[in-house]
Amino acid sequence: MKGTVTSISGATVCVDLADLKIGDRVFVGTSHLTGEVVRIDDKIATVQVFEENRGLGIGESVTTAGGPLTVALGPGLLGGIFDGLQRPLPLLLENSGDFVSSGQNPFPLDRKKSWAVTTNNKPGDHLHSGEAFAKVREGHIEHLLLMPQDGTLQQLEEGRLTLENPVATLADKQPLYGWHSWPVRKARPYQSKLPPTRPLVTGQRCLDFLFPLLKGGVAMVPGGFGTGKTVLEQTIAKFADVDVVVYVGCGERGNEMAGLLDEFGELEDPRTKRPLKERTIIVANTSNMPVAARESSIFTAVTMAEYYRDMGLDVLFLADSLSRWAEALREISSALEEMPGEDGYPTYLGSRLSGFIERAGVVKTLSGGQGSLSMILAVSPPGADFAEPVTQACLRVSGALYMLDTQLAHRRHFPAINWTQSFSLYSDTAMAHFVEEHEEWAKLQARCRDILQREDALREVAEVVGMEGLQDGDRLLMRTAEKIRLDFLCQNSFTEDAFAAPKSTIESITTLVAEHDQLSAALANGALLDDLLKEADHAPR
Amino acid sequence: MRLAEHQYRSVSAIRGPLLFLEKVFAARLGELVRIDAPDGRTLTGEVLKIFGDQVLIQVFGGTQGLDTKRTSVNFSDAVMRAPLGAGVLGRVFDGSFRPIDDLPMFIPEFRRPVIGAPINPVARAHPEEFIETGFSTIDGLNTLVKGQKLPIFTCAGLPAREMTEQLLHQARLPDGGPFVLVFVALGLTHFEYQFYRQTLEHMQSRFVAFVNLADDPVVERLLAPRLALTVAEDLAFRQEMDVLVIITDMTNYCDALREISTAREELPGRRGYPGHMYSDLASLYERAGRIHGRKGSVTLLPTVTMPEDDITHPIPDLTGYITEGQLVLSRELHQKGIYPPIDVLPSLSRLMQHGIGKGQTRSDHRDLSNQLYRTYAKGCDLRRLEAVVGRDGMLAEDRKLLDFADRFEAGFVHQGNKRRTIDETLDTAQALLDDFREVAR
């Protein structure tokens, strides 16, 4: 079916193609730019074009892809780097040089690479959609090949196969390949959602100890510019104890993506000792790449994350930053001349966002296993004003808040997580797990919070009376609080200290609190603080 | 491809910098048009929107003197391209690439679309080569690297101009060579521009300038940085030069963007700036960088004047979200007579970690910079306390921190017109910290 372009306003294009559905993918113009149908009025469909479309002319032809925007799911995604439409960037580089050009649609996976396929099934088995019919080894994981639909197997292949060779044939003669495609805006199905229970170790002392996250949980990280959102996200991407990491650079800096790529190629996963790259999928849609593709990038990424979750794996999804996604949504909405809501964002921002965030969670998969998809989402509030719509919409649906503080960042206290305003609703559940290993965990957490809170109060007093005017006990508390802040909560992502195992985390805080208790006991016995401190500072460590 | 040039005299409306044209056949988005005014002037324009046979055109240059009857518009069938080649060096152009240095136009080797394609993130080489600027606060604490974009956030009346000018003289690349400068003046007054012109004259032919002054057409203010960056990309990635792009002042650019956006009847966002300003700024800033396997680089140093000294104003705010850090000038330091008045606490260079240390600067660099930051931040915190209780009411230890903060500003931040090498910077830092520990004992 063919139509033509009837009007163009930036990336919003009207076409006179009949029988389109909302969400259908179309190819616009002589250079086959990818677009998505966003509105239909009688015989005219409005299309959001995902690629740079300067030079597109009225009257150029438009064809339909016959279905919605999809991603290809199969072995070979791990270690891949894609743009917001799942186009493999290394292949684009090979095909069209150092700058991304429009109108290219290479297949996202390597079709020629062969995989060792094994199976536990036999011809005649009836399988349901989402159950595994075969498996391959992809790096450190067992990659299950999942049924895209219900069916009875008629024939099965084993041995080294490429993605072009059918792995199985169904009773109705339909071939099954090692890959299938899935619409990005449709959440992948599961049997049931389960409550998250297992802690997700990030290796950040502040998070693991004060604001723990669970596998299947959602945390948001709002912070003004320069507060270290990206560094925190990337550090967690390196060290989190999960099987697969999906990292989306959504409307962020190109140089940072380049740094991430370099680093992930060199570093190794502390658990499996394999290159970090092998457990990571990167989706890079930098701020200067087309806005509409930025909007779709988080859906492209989360669909790939769900795919690995469906194999019974623990997947971590990191997005940097959701605000850029929301802004893309706003730009598209404004081009469609929709009625604006708060700050010009469309009124469906909240529902669109919660629909997306609800794709996280622990699930019982269709094949009966248990997989989890956790999300850590950076938000960039304009002017570091947390009252703005995107931050507020995220807050309503996330289980943990890691608020980054500009003042802390200026003092080079990194990660700049504000300990009074951040929270984790998972704390109690996570505690149950931590407590099994370390009985003191809950008690220490309460002590630590108490000391930090009292420091805040004391600082206000000190501002009036001066440090000299404080009692010895209070001065000791301020000293301990400072130690907790500098030696425990601060963690340099560029040194060996970047990852702290839970065991060492608990040890360091135990030491700090024990020293405090010891010194307070001495004070109670009539010793003078200055003498005690002199001793403590000169004591061999 | 159309075979004949299309000419129309069907202008239906003119609003601000926008021209509405009817009964146009097969126009293209972004197509370059030539407009012949009734008074004989020729202007250029670009197609913004097309609805069937109606076309909306943005005119570069003023629309004064245009009418609906006699104005004719010629469609070129191509998007706007910048002329490129070695001939651009040493030249001064206006915001539409016309020479304004009384020399004839150079002969272009070829032309490239001014809206550059994004660099494939996989092709980018991570910036990590140290640039010695000669300023201690930059080299020591907020290190600039090749391919970085680092804006200067200034306030009205602060010496950002002098700093920029000095930086041009004294910046050294890792191999000791100088930069090729691409200078973009946006909405500057003649008075301000005079100042830079002298500097450019000293650069001989290692510069290209695009000048759009305060009384030049506003639409060209949006075009000039794109022309300049297209030239910069060509110099860097084809002719393998290290290019430093200085754009001053981005605040004028954003105001022009707001003006045009309002004329286009787009929805205004915060403070009336359009909602797409982030993407628009990114399309400029992100053109900085390095590419694997190519020698050159584009380093970008835009100046942003913060309206009302407010760092949360949309212009510095969005800029800070895109650039790899910021250098923030402080009115308070300036009033204390400190030059350059860089406030290091809110300043940041995100790419510093990879550009310093052994092999780049010195192995003790990271450690020194962390200690300076921490000690100075503590000292600044205590200044508030000092204001309440007075210096006498404070602990001896705290008084030393206050002293340190003062000496840091006078001895490290302040350097007048003197250039410091990275060794001198780090030695100064070491000496300050040694003194502090000595006294603290």
Q: Which CATH number fits domain A441-538: 2.60.40.10, 3.10.180.10, 1.20.120.140, 1.10.1140.10?
A: 1.10.1140.10
A11 has a pLDDT exceeding 70: yes
B108 has a pLDDT exceeding 70: yes
Q: What's the half-sphere exposure (Cβ side, CA atoms, 13 Å) at A527?
A: 16
Torsion of CA A31, A36, A39, A41, to 10 degrees: 40
Q: Report the gap between the CA of A106 and the closest CA in chain B (Å).
A: 15
CA distance A169 to A176: 6
Answer for the pair A213, A375: CB distance below 8 angstroms, yes or no. Answer: no
Please give the C-alpha separations between residue B277 and each of A252, A288, A338, A413, B417, in angstroms, as whole numbers: 14, 12, 19, 31, 37
Residues B87 and B232 in one domain: yes
Query: Which range has the top average pLDDT, A356-360, A489-493, B434-438?
Result: A356-360
Among candidates B236, B219, B240, which has minimal Cα distance to B288?
B236
Would you say residue B356 lies in a domain?
no
B288 phi, psi to nearest 5 deg? -75, 155
Which residues have C-beta within 8 Å of that of residue A120, sequence separation ≥ 6?
none
Which of A53, A324, A468 faces B394 most closely, judged by CB atoms? Answer: A468
User: Which pLDDT score is estimated for B283?
Assistant: 94
Q: Report the gap between the CA of B113 and the closest CA in chain A (Å).
A: 10
Residues of B in contact with A254 (CB under 8 A): 118-119, 121, 124, 286, 289
Q: What is the largest distance, in Å, between two alpha-carbon atoms of chain B?
A: 86
Does the beta-carbon distance from A464 to B266 stay under 8 Å?
no
Please, is A42 exposed, middle or buried when counting C-beta atoms within 10 Å of its C-beta (0-12, 13-18, 19+)?
exposed
Would you say residue B304 lies in a domain?
yes
Does the beta-carbon distance from B286 to A343 stay under 8 Å?
no
Domain boundary among B79, B114, B136: B79
Could you tell me the pLDDT band of residue B201, with boundaries at 50, 70 and 90?
A: confident
Chain pair A-B, CB pairs under 8 angstroms: 209
CA angle A243, A249, A255 (to 5 degrees): 115
Does the beta-carbon distance from A98 to B291 stay under 8 Å?
yes
The 10s digit of each residue's pLDDT in B369-426 is: 989 998 999 899 889 888 888 888 788 888 999 999 999 999 999 999 899 999 999 9
The domain defined by A112-182 carries CATH number 3.60.21.10: no
Q: Examine residue B139 and say whether the peptide bond preceding it is cis (omega within 30 degrees of 0).
A: no
CA distance A167 to A148: 13
- Collapsing DSSP to helix, strand or coil, A511 comes out as helix
Answer for the pair A215, A241: CB distance below 8 angstroms, yes or no. Answer: no
CA distance B165 to B159: 10
A83 phi, psi to nearest 5 deg? -90, -175
**pLDDT averaged over every residue in chain B:** 91
The 10s digit of each residue's pLDDT in A366-406 is: 989 999 999 999 999 988 889 999 999 999 999 999 999 99
B3 has a pLDDT exceeding 60: no
Pair of tokens at residue B106? 């150079």
Residues B308 and B162 in one domain: yes
Provide the percentage of residues in chain B whose pLDDT is more than 70: 98
Residues B27 and B159 in one domain: no
CA distance B213 to B256: 12
Question: What's the predicted TM-score (pTM) here?
Answer: 0.92
**DSSP 8-state code for residue A186:** S
Which of B27, B270, B394 faces A58 most closely, judged by CB atoms? Answer: B27
Q: How many CB atoms lie within 10 A of CB A358?
A: 12
Residues B307 and B287 in one domain: yes
A90 has a pLDDT exceeding 90: yes
Does the beta-carbon distance from A463 to B389 stay under 8 Å?
yes
Least confident of A199-213, A523-537, B225-239, B292-306: A523-537
Most A CBs within 10 A among B278, B311, B348, B354, hence the mutation to make, goes to: B278
Most B CBs within 10 A among A253, A468, A487, hence the mutation to make, goes to: A253
The 10s digit of each residue's pLDDT in A120-133 is: 999 999 999 999 99
Residues B273 and B333 in one domain: yes
Among candidates B345, B348, B332, B333, which has minimal Cα distance to B410?
B333
Provide the percentage of residues in chain B whose pLDDT is more than 90: 73
User: Which pLDDT score is estimated for B22?
Assistant: 93
- Region A154-170: mean pLDDT is 93
Among candidates A395, A391, A386, A455, which has minimal Cα distance to A423?
A395
Among candidates A20, A11, A65, A56, which has minimal Cα distance to A39?
A20
Would you say residue B301 lies in a domain?
yes
Does the beta-carbon distance from A9 to B318 stay under 8 Å?
no
Residues of A in contact with B292 (CB under 8 A): 98
Residues of A in contact with B320 (CB under 8 A): 224-226
Q: Checking DSSP bridges between strand B72-79 and strand B81-84, what pairing results, if any?
A: unpaired
B8 has a pLDDT exceeding 60: yes
Could you tell me the pLDDT band of residue B160, with boundaries at 50, 70 and 90?
A: very high
- Region A84-106: mean pLDDT is 92
Please give the C-alpha separations between residue A301 and each of A280, A282, B12, B123, in angstroms, as whole numbers: 11, 8, 47, 21
- Region B252-275: mean pLDDT is 90
List all residues of chain A from 342 to 401 with a beta carbon under 8 Å from chain B: 343-344, 380, 382-385
CA distance B44 to B21: 14
Q: Examine residue B72 and say whether the peptide bond preceding it is cis (omega within 30 degrees of 0).
A: no
Residues of B in contact with A494 (CB under 8 A): 353, 366
Residues of B in contact with A7 (CB under 8 A): 49-52
Answer for the pair A373, A245: CB distance below 8 angstroms, yes or no. Answer: no
List all residues of chain A from 58 to 77 with a beta carbon under 8 Å from chain B: 58-59
Residues B376 and B436 in one domain: yes
**Alpha helix locations (H) across A365-501?**
389-395, 406-410, 427-437, 441-465, 472-483
User: Which pLDDT score is estimated for A328?
Assistant: 92
Does the beta-carbon distance from A259 to B126 stay under 8 Å?
yes
Residues of B in contact with A253 (CB under 8 A): 286, 322, 324
Q: How many CB atoms lie within 10 A of CB B344?
A: 28
Does the beta-carbon distance from B26 to A288 stay under 8 Å?
no
Pair of tokens at residue A202? 């990030």
The angle, 0 to 180 degrees and rounded to 10, between the axes of the packed helices A502-524 and A529-538 is 140
Does the beta-carbon distance from A465 to B50 stay under 8 Å?
no
Domain boundary among B295, B325, B350: B350
ipTM for the whole complex: 0.88
Classify each residue of B299-332 as buried b or exposed e, where b means 16 or more C-beta atoms within 10 Å of its C-beta. bbbbbbbbbebebebbbbbbbbbbbbbbbbbbee
Query: In this structure, which amino acid lies at residue B356?
Result: I
Q: Checking DSSP bridges between strand A70-73 and strand A180-183, what pairing results, if any?
A: antiparallel
Does the beta-carbon distance from A57 to B322 stay under 8 Å?
no
**DSSP 8-state code for residue B28:** B
A238 phi, psi to nearest 5 deg? -75, -40
Does the beta-carbon distance from A466 to B116 stay under 8 Å?
no
Does the beta-carbon distance from B50 to A7 stay under 8 Å?
yes
Q: Report the gap between the CA of B214 and the closest CA in chain A (Å).
A: 28
Does the beta-carbon distance from A343 to B270 stay under 8 Å?
yes
With CA atoms as reference, the chain B residue closest to A91 would be B122
User: Which pLDDT score is estimated for B106?
Assistant: 95
Give the residue numbers spanning the domain of B42: 6-79
Answer for the pair A281, A290: CB distance below 8 angstroms, yes or no. Answer: no
Does the beta-carbon distance from A494 to B322 stay under 8 Å?
no
User: Which pLDDT score is estimated for A538?
Assistant: 66
Least confident of A458-467, B22-31, B118-127: A458-467
With CA atoms as reference, the chain A residue closest to B311 would be A383
User: Which pLDDT score is estimated for A217?
Assistant: 96
Report the CATH number at residue B39.
2.40.10.170
List all residues of chain A from 402 to 461 with a beta carbon under 8 Å from chain B: 409-412
The domain defined by A192-423 carries CATH number 3.40.50.300: yes
Q: Report the gap between the CA of B83 and the closest CA in chain A (Å).
A: 18
Would you say residue B355 lies in a domain?
no
User: Which pLDDT score is estimated for A541?
Assistant: 42
**Alpha helix locations (H) across A112-247?**
205, 229-239
Does the beta-carbon distance from B389 to A465 stay under 8 Å?
yes
Give the per-residue SS3 of A99-126.
ECCCCCCCCCCCCCCEEEEECCCCCCCE
Q: Report the gap between the CA of B185 and the closest CA in chain A (Å).
A: 23
Q: Give the CA radius of gyration of chain B.
A: 25
Residues B282 and B406 in one domain: no
Residues B73 and B132 in one domain: no
Could you tell me the pLDDT band of residue B138, with boundaries at 50, 70 and 90?
A: very high
- Collapsing DSSP to helix, strand or coil, A492 comes out as coil
Give the per-residue SS3 of A290-341.
CHHHHHHHHHHHHHHHHHHHCCCCEEEEEEECHHHHHHHHHHHHHHCCCCEC
With CA atoms as reference, the chain A residue closest to B123 would be A98
Most A CBs within 10 A among B1, B28, B29, hence the mutation to make, goes to: B29
Please, is A341 exposed, middle or buried when counting C-beta atoms within 10 Å of its C-beta (0-12, 13-18, 19+)?
middle
Could you tell me the pLDDT band of residue A101, with boundaries at 50, 70 and 90?
A: confident
A2-69 CATH: 2.40.30.20
Residues of A in contact with B118 (CB under 8 A): 99-100, 254, 286, 288-289
With CA atoms as reference, the chain B residue closest to A90 would be B122
The 10s digit of each residue's pLDDT in A36-46 is: 999 999 889 99
User: Which pLDDT score is estimated for B380?
Assistant: 92
E-state strands within B23-154: 31-36, 42-51, 54-60, 72-79, 81-84, 91-94, 110-113, 124-125, 152-154
CA distance A278 to B211: 49
CA angle A140, A498, A213 (to 5 degrees): 70
Which residues have C-beta within 8 Å of that of residue A279, sequence separation ≥ 6?
A78, A139, A140, A141, A242, A243, A244, A245, A269, A272
Provide the percentage of residues in chain A whose pLDDT is more than 70: 98
**DSSP result, B369-413:** HHHHHHHHHHHHHHHHHHHHH-GGGS-HHHHHHHHHHHHHIIIII
Residues B167 and B277 in one domain: yes
Residues B235 and B253 in one domain: yes
Does the beta-carbon distance from A98 to B147 stay under 8 Å?
no
With CA atoms as reference, the chain B residue closest to A101 would be B117
Answer for the pair A226, A409: CB distance below 8 angstroms, yes or no. Answer: yes
- Collapsing DSSP to helix, strand or coil, A355 comes out as helix
Domain boundaries, chain A: 2-69, 112-182, 192-423, 441-538
Would you say residue B382 lies in a domain?
yes
Does the beta-carbon distance from B29 to A53 stay under 8 Å?
yes
The 10s digit of each residue's pLDDT in B339-372 is: 999 999 999 999 998 889 888 889 999 999 989 9
- Collapsing DSSP to helix, strand or coil, A68 comes out as strand
**pLDDT averaged over every residue in chain A:** 91
Would you say residue B1 lies in a domain?
no
Most A CBs within 10 A among B55, B143, B279, hence the mutation to make, goes to: B279
**DSSP result, A11-65:** TEEEE--SS--TTEEEEETTTTEEEEEEEEETTEEEEEE-S--TT-BTT-EEEEE
If one counts the domains in chain B, the total is: 3
